[in-house]
Structure 1
Amino acid sequence: MQIKGIHHVSAITADAKGNYHFYTEVLGMRLVKKTVNQDDTSVYHLFYADEVGNPGTDLTFFEIPHAGSTYQGISSISGTSLRVPNDAALTYWQDRLHEYNVDHDGITKDGNRSVIHFRDPEGQRLTLVSDETNIGVKGGKPWDHSSVPMENGIIGLGPTKLTVKDPTPTITILTKLLTFKQVGSYPSSITSQEDIMVFATAEGGTGAEVHLEVRNDLQPERPGRGSVHHVAFRVDNEEELSKWKDRLQELRLPNSGLVDRFYFKSLYFREPNGILFELATDGPGFATDEDIEHLGESLALPPFFEDQRDKIEAKLKPLDTKRSH
């Protein structure tokens, strides 16, 4: 039983149309699936990724149209990073973010890696991270129809940052349960706060890290638009996922049991600081019900919702994601 790295990150948007524009046009990611939130089919669930939605490349959004502002704080997933091929790509991105008036901090360092911290139009906390020195989990491949040249394109998800007040229980879950090991740390950008701890699993590198920030000056986060709902970690297959479920039961950790998301199988639980973790299988993937050439162009529904299609579509605000090829 081995966690292979980050599988996907799911966040909240109040504006599916604006979200689609930003992540496809400005960031050049591919919409690989336009579907609905399986726990509330009246709202969209949008998946942005590399050319085919390889595991480890998906940044997903639930649309919650009336979501309020996020009040940032502890017990949260406080940062999502996106991998780019090298340091030269960051120079390209610095210019691009400036051109599109995206709020960003320029090229800086997290430890020995070059990064650009930036915010989307709803305040989603994002980081572009260079894979210049990466020797761990391989990235994906940018889509060749992207608005961003392939040599500079986003190749997957980088480290996920968690912010907590008391790190000990979170560290216990990461290291004693989820096969992560602490591999380093780097200074916080907040004066007087502890160094940010770096945990890695499997092959390590940018695609397999969790960064843990300790803050004693914040209240618990109040989520809204621009916040992250959960982070999912990769497991090989359903058989292994079932073993993880048994392990959680042994430890008496409340969990969802196995959930069929159709594109992958999932298992959810909260670590002791209240952050929602998901374990998700690498397959079967997003080409299960759509041709690879046309991923994300029409509303995809898992078979168990197909008989409700008319009712579901009637509740959704139209979102045109058709592309001219």
Structure 2
Amino acid sequence: MTAQAAAETQGLHHVTAIAGDPQKNIDFYITGLGLRLVKKTVNFDDPGTYHLYYGDEAGRPGSLMTFFPWRGIQRGRIGAGQSTSTAFSVPAGSLGWWVDHFASVGAEARITSTSSSEERLLVHDPDGLQIELVATDEHDPRDPWDSASVPAEHAVRGQHSSVLTVRDAERTLALMTNDLGMHVVEQEGNRTRLAAGAGGPGALVDVHASNLVQPGLTAGGTVHHIAFRVPDQATQQQWRDELVSRGHQVTEILDRQYFTSIYFREPGGVLFEIATDTPGFDIDEPLLELGRSLKLPPWLEPSREAIEHAVIPVRIPEENNPEVAA
């Protein structure tokens, strides 16, 4: 049996997906899902398009959903080798309210599971990305963003879990337990739930195995990668060294301004990132003003004029920055 990694993830850091029209994306995730836009920046590898980050008030790890929006991009195909569904944690008893709320913003939502352990609601964003809301009796201590669209008693607390769909789960599960330090907490049919640390919302991944699912096509409405948390860069470096020693092809540590990252693919084809909790989203703008203006890293600042001309103008709803909107 392979020895378990010395480093262990604390849970989910963020999920990054691909979108089309950035304004539709902004309107859905701020007004529809009730998240806060905590950073409007650009894709550091393709500065002609945005990188939009949504989360709680401060964009804490485990609350984050991020997007690369390319207007006119073809619709992708959700399938094997992808993270196929992203779930957010909401309070028990709130799903009925969410069905009505999504209807009010033109999004069809339906409750898909009402088991004794958890209730699930499925909704698709404007690009067809699968988003689930999960309501359980398990206490989620995270504070919601105080949104004008979604009252606190129903609001998203942060990520709940992600579903990975793969053809053969054995090697994926081995990597997640041996190399990421997660552990199996539940198995039912062809679905296995893993947890990081003590588990609970924000620390869960479901691995769905099916050799009948067609391969995914990464484009609009699909997840690009899923990121796991580590506290700091020293731990990240330790983990990178160990992953490389086990034969994984891992990138160098990359500066993402608000955290640092490494990337590698798990055996089922899903792109994994390991991201640091620090330094956070308030290093280049005050907490009250998060998401208001286009922020660029120092190495792109000399190209600001060209970048601002290239990206599509967008409107940020006033509820994103209620204390400074006027």
Same fold at TM > 0.5: yes
User: For the Cα contact (< 8 Å) 2:41–2:50, is it kept in 1?
Assistant: yes
Aligned to 2:32: 26
User: What is the SS of the residue equivalent to 2:146?
Assistant: coil
Task: Determine the C-alpha separation between the residues in 1 that align with 2:228 and 2:114.
Answer: 25
User: What is the SS of the residue equivalent to 1:22?
Assistant: helix
How far the C-alpha of 1:121 sits from its partner, in A, is 1.9
Aligned to 1:304: 299
How far the C-alpha of 1:75 sits from its partner, in A, is 0.9
Task: Mark the CA change 1:46 to 1:110 in structure 2 (over 3 Å): closer, same or farther.
Answer: farther
Aligned to 2:308: 313
Give 1:96's aligned amino acid: H
Task: Mark the CA change 1:223 to 1:101 in structure 2 (over 3 Å): closer, same or farther.
Answer: same
Aligned to 2:99: 94
Task: Determine the C-alpha separation between the residues in 2 that align with 1:130 and 1:322.
Answer: 27
1:114 and 2:116 correspond:
no
Give 1:61's aligned amino acid: F
Structural mapping, 1:135-284, within 5 Å: 140-186=142-188, 194-284=189-279
Deviations 1:116-153 (A, max 9, x none): 1221121111100114224xxx5532222432111211
Give 1:10's aligned amino acid: T
Task: Determine the C-alpha separation between the residues in 2 that align with 1:16 and 1:164.
Answer: 29
User: What is the SS of the residue equivalent to 1:88?
Assistant: coil
User: For the Cα contact (< 8 Å) 2:87–2:159, is it kept in 1?
Assistant: yes
How far the C-alpha of 1:10 sits from its partner, in A, is 0.2
**Over aligned residues, Cα RMSD in angstroms?**
1.5
TM-score when normalising by structure 1: 0.92
Give 1:272's aligned amino acid: P
How far the C-alpha of 1:293 sits from its partner, in A, is 0.6
Structural mapping, 1:39-50, within 5 Å: 39-50=45-56
Task: Determine the C-alpha separation between the residues in 1 that align with 2:105 and 2:207.
Answer: 31
Deviations 1:199-219 (A, max 9, x none): 001120121011011112122
User: For the Cα contact (< 8 Å) 1:43–1:64, is it kept in 2?
Assistant: yes
How far the C-alpha of 1:238 sits from its partner, in A, is 0.6
Aligned to 1:123: 128
User: For the Cα contact (< 8 Å) 1:298–1:321, is it kept in 2?
Assistant: no
How far the C-alpha of 1:104 sits from its partner, in A, is 2.0
Percent of paired sites with the same residue:
37
1:53 and 2:59 correspond:
yes
How far the C-alpha of 1:322 sits from its partner, in A, is 6.3
Task: Determine the C-alpha separation between the residues in 2 that align with 1:108 and 1:249.
Answer: 40
User: What is the SS of the residue equivalent to 1:293?
Assistant: helix
Aligned to 2:76: 70
Aligned to 1:16: 22
Task: Determine the C-alpha separation between the residues in 2 that align with 1:108 and 1:273.
Answer: 27
User: For the Cα contact (< 8 Å) 2:190–2:210, is it kept in 1?
Assistant: no
Give 1:198's aligned amino acid: R
Extract unaligned runs of 5+ from structure 1: 187-193
Deviations 1:13-66 (A, max 9, x none): 011010001111111110000000011100000011011101100100001223
1:4 and 2:4 correspond:
no
Task: Mark the CA change 1:55 to 1:317 in structure 2 (over 3 Å): closer, same or farther.
Answer: same
Task: Mark the CA change 1:238 to 1:131 in structure 2 (over 3 Å): closer, same or farther.
Answer: farther
Task: Determine the C-alpha separation between the residues in 2 that align with 1:150 and 1:306.
Answer: 37
TM-score when normalising by structure 2: 0.92
1:133 and 2:138 correspond:
yes
Of 67-76 and 158-167, deviating more is 67-76
Task: Mark the CA change 1:47 to 1:139 in structure 2 (over 3 Å): closer, same or farther.
Answer: farther
Aligned match for 2:109, one of 98, 104, 110:
104
Extract unaligned runs of 5+ from structure 2: 1-6, 319-324
Task: Determine the C-alpha separation between the residues in 2 that align with 1:322 and 1:98.
Answer: 19
Q: How many residues align?
A: 314
Task: Determine the C-alpha separation between the residues in 1 that align with 2:166 and 2:292.
Answer: 39
Task: Determine the C-alpha separation between the residues in 2 that align with 1:283 and 1:210.
Answer: 23
Q: Which has the higher helix share?
A: 1
Deviations 1:276-318 (A, max 9, x none): 0000001110011011111000101112211211121111111
User: For the Cα contact (< 8 Å) 1:255–1:267, is it kept in 2?
Assistant: yes
Structure 1 residue runs of 4+, over 4 Å off? none
